[in-house]
Amino acid sequence: MEVRGRGVVQGQGSAAAQHRHRHPPPAAAPRVQAGDALPLPIRHTNLIFSALFAASLAYLMRRWREKIRSSTPLHVVGLAEMLAIFGLIASLIYLLSFFGIAFVQSIVSSSDDDEDFLVGSSGAPATAAAPSRSRQQQAPAPCALLGSPAAAAAHEKMPEEDEEIVAAVVAGKIPSYVLETRLGDCRRAAGIRREAVRRITGREIDGLPLDGFDYASILGQCCELPVGYVQVPVGIAGPLLLDGQRFYVPMATTEGCLVASTNRGCKAIAESGGATSVVLRDGMTRAPVARLPTARRAAELKAFLEDPANFDTLSLVFNRSSRFARLQGVQCAMAGRNLYMRFSCSTGDAMGMNMVSKGVQNVLDFLQDDFPDMDVISISGNFCSDKKPAAVNWIEGRGKSVVCEAVIKEDVVKKVLKTNVQSLVELNTIKNLAGSAIAGALGGFNAHASNIVTAIFIATGQDPAQNVESSHCITMLEPINDGKDLHISVTMPSIEVGTVGGGTQLASQSACLDLLGVKGANQDSPGSNARLLATVVAGGVLAGELSLLSALAAGQLVKSHMKYNRSSKDMSKALP
């Protein structure tokens, strides 16, 4: 899929007025401090623990003096003294941590310089006075998205505290990856990292937005070292009439014609009575690889894993990893003394890679008792196979295996698709079947299934890299009812989707899932939301295949792309 950048037409008005409208003056919003991540401002927290320390110490000293005078053993303590001792220890730990963390972290950071991708070109540690001198020598202006938004326009310095952190990151004294933890503010950390990148590379990244995104929502699960976010437009194709329901399918793409073409396919399907789907299989896979001393020993382990008598035991061990994970089977293959074990399990409404990996690890630990000579090389041995075109997924399936079909009436083929049944059938045979065979395609017996799969994946928070196997599809067209009507189907054996976990919990992606009615986990029937999403993906592919093949048969492809996939701006006016 070709990605083309698009310009943005700005509104009328002076640049200064627009800048003031978009960016209020610094006084309008308080500056975010690192201590804002605490329940109380950090100065209040310091005051509380300092007072607690002093009060506890004073009380204990007074009590101990009284015990000494009255010859009472010091180890005999009451409830009040126990509370005072606890308060003394807690406040002491806090104060030592607070005042000592900067010193300790500076030592750790200096030893990790080579691990951080944001190390300055000099690589030399700076003295205490070096940051201020380096700031005076910095040629680029401060990032407009840090501190005061109006600072860049007026060429003012950013807040001194942020300036010192940026300088430390550039110099390699503070690893970029610790900013969120150290500052306690994900948005501020992203802004500081962004400015550090700008200074190191000398490249302006003004077109990459920073504000308007919840960086806390991706911390530790979706993206590391963020400096902004990419905007991808989302279009709606539909209604897609599938299994008696109407779906409005969100598609995130930068390719012109794609949404419009899929929308036309949806129209043709709806006017012909809708499409139907069936889920043939639902199971995520993970295939570790282990090395045994000999091929004979590897064959013994293979026989143990594939023996039906052992399945209940393996299933019990595997299923401990999750209340949704359920082992379905184990398929093994050998290469010399290396054994590849392909585990398949149901994963509820999650896509399930982490879930099946945990279950596999449980089984490997269990097998180690009976096969102590087993050397586990990797939890993934590529027999899974994830994010790579593989015949095992094409034949055995991975994720959800779905078939979607529809009968398109003759009059709809002519009026909506602007072609005829015979031309479509002939084109599909020569292009999708014979042409793909000539090319040696693996799972690619279709016109453009990956276009629709990827667009829906991005919109709904799926892993876009899994479009590789999820786009495996064979498109079949044949005439029925004496050649008057068209039967079309798509068979997709490895659609890997989920409605919980990963990017599905982000606000925009969650909204798209909600639009389809599959947001989150289905409490009544675990796994049904993910299966429904898989059928919608297959239905979207069916609509996309139908429309593109019709455009090719009618010779409309180039004309449509010239109309919808090119900028309509008069670029000559933008030239000097």
Q: Provide the annotated active-site residues.
A: 255, 387, 463, 561
Phi, psi of 356 (to 5 degrees): -70, -30
Strands (E), 253-336: 275-286, 289-291, 326-335
- The H-or-E segment that residue 343 falls in is strand 338-346
Six-digit token string for 65:
């003096």
Cα–Cα dist 204/56, whole Å: 55
Cα–Cα dist 475/451, whole Å: 14
Widest CA span of the chain, in angstroms? 113
For residue 307, the tally of other CB atoms under 10 A from its CB is 11
Distances (CA, A) of 560 to 147, 256, 340, 423, 452: 47, 9, 48, 19, 17
- The H-or-E segment that residue 556 falls in is none
Q: Helix, strand, or coil here: 303?
A: helix
Cα–Cα dist 11/266, whole Å: 35
Contact 287, 382 (CB under 8 A): yes
- Cis omega (within 30 of 0) on the bond before 385? yes
Contact 263, 571 (CB under 8 A): no
- Cis omega (within 30 of 0) on the bond before 239? yes
Q: How many helices (H) and strands (E) does the chain have?
A: 20, 11
Distances (CA, A) of 55 to 59, 86, 212, 412: 6, 12, 46, 85
Six-digit token string for 120:
């300055």
